[in-house]
């Protein structure tokens, strides 16, 4: 008798699992065109609701319902990798999660902690610029444009920023962390078929459970070593781990080893690839829109270069057009197109529908941010639209960092990294497409963070500012 959201025709046992094709956000948007902005799917034994309109998103994640949907689905992968689903990104809503979020707000992302780590971000951006400068001079220097493969540079850069903030170490060139992170992404936390069809998990036909267990113990070993190093040595000052270990001494019940390891892992998983993928999309957009690129350069010349210096983090709030470019990139290419799935903790009624307890909730941010009912020329890259400050705070319409209680706590840090890195790349180099007459391919590849299908290769040469400034 329940009034459930509409649903397509499904099969016994598998329900609608067969309908999900990569890229899933596109496939769900297509389904919404016939089923409407709120529809439900049966994924094996799990029920899911998919939301594709800004008003419905706001209703699901608004004050009243936000608390009901503040849970996360429980998955096999995070049971092994994120300490029995207890790390901040996957923990069920409740006291433990609230405590983790409090630690994030007060001890990791507070303005004071971000100020403490400013030098790290500055240093890593300079190191990225030096690498590109070296490549451009080895290509003949002067007026010659040289080819640069940006993906490995950008992903190395963001991983180093996060690793240094967390553990005081650079990891560029060392493959251990990268391998562990990419194996985790490969196993895919919310897409394992065994979480929907328990029989698959029970017999572990594809060896997934075995791999997840093995990966969990490799990650734990790596993290325990990091904690051990930090306990033994005084050279690690001002890292997230030393800070949390100091707090552990006075409040051991809150800051257990497991809590600290879980926080470190989540920072690495949630913070590095999301940011590097966004930088790659932003550069790709700019190469396809040389007029926009020129406008960003002019803004940077007017605010920074005319003072004969390189961009600093303190400039990021003043460079509004640059920030609009980043917002427009996140609108068209959100690194978490379906956010992270939420789950309902009790039966509720939303948008006129009955939603049973335990329902998975997918908010299709990618589709909402391209909805022609909300956005003028939604498929066009137009940073000017963000001149209107209001757009950034209309939660249900622009939600690349999610919204409500489970919204991204790293948003401020991500914006600092994105703005400083993108601004510095544009200030210090002139950029053009690898093949001048051919647009950069903007198709989406496979993966949770919606990476580009074709890694970005661009051409660049040093700007005149580098003649006067030492990086």
> By CB under 6 A, is residue 319 in contact with ligand HEM?
no
By CB under 6 A, name the one of 125, 150, 287, 408 that touches ligand HEM: 408
Binding mask 92-121 for ligand HEM (x = CB under 6 A): ---------x--------------------
Q: How far is the CB of 146 from ligand HEM (least distance, A)?
A: 28
37, 15 contact by CB (below 8 A): no
* Dist CA 294 CA 286 (whole Å): 9
* Dist CA 419 CA 325 (whole Å): 9
- Residues between 277 and 296 that touch ligand HEM (CB under 6 A): 278
- Residues between 143 and 182 that touch ligand HEM (CB under 6 A): 162
What residue numbers does the annotated binding site for heme cover? 408
Q: How far is the CB of 54 from ligand HEM (least distance, A)?
A: 14
Number of C-beta neighbours around residue 248 at 10 A: 18
Q: How far is the CB of 162 from ligand HEM (least distance, A)?
A: 6
By CB under 6 A, name the one of 340, 348, 420, 458 that touches ligand HEM: 340
> By CB under 6 A, is residue 88 in contact with ligand HEM?
yes
Q: How far is the CB of 407 from ligand HEM (least distance, A)?
A: 5
Query: How many CA atoms does the CB half-sphere of 393 hold within 13 Å?
Result: 3
* Dist CA 364 CA 369 (whole Å): 9
Nearest to 193 by CA among 182, 204, 179: 204
> By CB under 6 A, is residue 420 in contact with ligand HEM?
no
* Dist CA 426 CA 323 (whole Å): 13
> By CB under 6 A, is residue 383 in contact with ligand HEM?
no
By CB under 6 A, name the one of 402, 423, 447, 451 that touches ligand HEM: 402
> By CB under 6 A, is residue 409 in contact with ligand HEM?
yes
* Dist CA 8 CA 376 (whole Å): 30
Question: In the sheet where 429-433 sits, what is the strand order?
Answer: 146-149, 457-462, 429-433
SS3 65: helix
Nearest to 414 by CA among 401, 395, 403: 401
- Residues between 20 and 79 that touch ligand HEM (CB under 6 A): none
CA distances from 1 to 39, 354, 358 (A): 17, 10, 18
* Segment contacting ligand HEM by CB under 6 A, of 42-50, 252-260, 262-270, 385-393: 262-270
Toward ligand HEM, which CB reaches closer, 71 or 136? Answer: 71
The per-residue b/e assignment along 27-65, b for 16 or more CB within 10 angstroms, e otherwise, is ebbebbeebebbbbbbbbebbbbbbbbbbbbbbbbeeeb
> By CB under 6 A, is residue 266 in contact with ligand HEM?
yes
> By CB under 6 A, is residue 407 in contact with ligand HEM?
yes
Give me the residue label for tokens 């065109």.
33
> By CB under 6 A, is residue 259 in contact with ligand HEM?
no
Q: How far is the CB of 335 from ligand HEM (least distance, A)?
A: 4
Q: How far is the CB of 414 from ligand HEM (least distance, A)?
A: 4
CA distances from 193 to 46, 204, 283, 341, 366 (A): 11, 11, 35, 15, 23
Q: What residues line the site for ligand HEM (CB under 6 A)?
A: 88-89, 101, 162, 266-267, 270-271, 274-275, 278, 334-336, 339-340, 342, 400-402, 406-410, 413-414
């Amino acid at each position: 008798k329940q009034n459930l959201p509409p649903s397509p025709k499904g099969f016994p046992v598998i329900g609608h699992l067969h309908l999900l094709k990569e890229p899933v956000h596109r496939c769900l948007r297509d389904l919404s065109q016939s089923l409407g902005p709120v529809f439900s799917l049966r994924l094996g034994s799990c029920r899911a609701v998919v939301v594709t309109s800004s008003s419905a998103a706001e209703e699901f994640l608004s004050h009243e319902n936000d608390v009901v949907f503040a849970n996360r689905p429980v998955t096999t992968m995070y049971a092994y990798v994120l300490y029995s689903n207890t790390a901040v990104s996957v923990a069920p809503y409740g006291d433990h999660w609230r405590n983790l979020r409090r630690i994030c707000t007060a001890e990791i992302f507070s303005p004071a902690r971000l100020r403490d780590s400013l030098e790290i971000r500055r240093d890593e951006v300079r190191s990225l610029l030096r690498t590109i400068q070296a490549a451009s001079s080895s290509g003949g220097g002067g007026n010659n444009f040289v080819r640069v493969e940006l993906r490995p540079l950008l992903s190395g850069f963001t991983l180093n920023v996060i690793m240094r903030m967390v553990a005081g170490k650079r990891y560029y060139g060392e493959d251990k962390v990268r391998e562990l992170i990419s194996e985790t992404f490969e196993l895919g936390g919310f897409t394992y078929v065994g979480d929907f069809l328990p029989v698959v998990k029970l017999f572990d036909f594809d060896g997934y459970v075995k791999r997840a267990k093995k990966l969990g113990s490799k990650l734990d070993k790596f993290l325990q070593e990091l904690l051990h190093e930090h306990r033994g040595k005084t050279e690690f000052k001002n890292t997230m781990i030393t800070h949390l270990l100091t707090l552990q001494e006075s409040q051991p019940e809150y800051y257990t080893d497991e809590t600290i390891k879980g926080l470190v892992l989540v920072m690495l998983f949630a913070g590095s690839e999301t940011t590097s993928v966004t930088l790659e999309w932003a550069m790709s957009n700019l190469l396809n829109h040389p007029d926009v690129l020129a406008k960003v350069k002019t803004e940077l010349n007017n605010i920074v270069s005319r003072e004969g210096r390189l961009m600093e983090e303190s400039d990021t709030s003043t460079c509004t057009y640059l920030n609009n470019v980043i917002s427009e990139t996140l609108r068209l290419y959100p690194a978490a197109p379906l956010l992270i799935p939420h789950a309902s903790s009790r039966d509720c009624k939303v948008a006129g529908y009955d939603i049973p307890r335990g329902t998975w909730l997918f908010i299709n941010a990618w589709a909402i941010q391209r909805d022609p009912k909300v956005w003028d020329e939604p498929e066009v890259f137009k940073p000017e639209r963000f001149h209107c400050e209001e757009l950034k705070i209309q939660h249900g319409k622009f939600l690349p960092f999610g919204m409500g209680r489970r919204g991204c706590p790293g948003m401020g840090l991500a914006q600092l990294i994105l703005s400083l890195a993108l601004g510095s790349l544009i200030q210090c180099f002139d950029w053009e497409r690898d093949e001048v007459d051919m647009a950069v391919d903007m198709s989406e590849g496979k993966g949770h963070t919606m990476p580009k299908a074709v890694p970005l290769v661009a051409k660049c040469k040093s700007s005149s500012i580098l003649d006067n400034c030492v990086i």
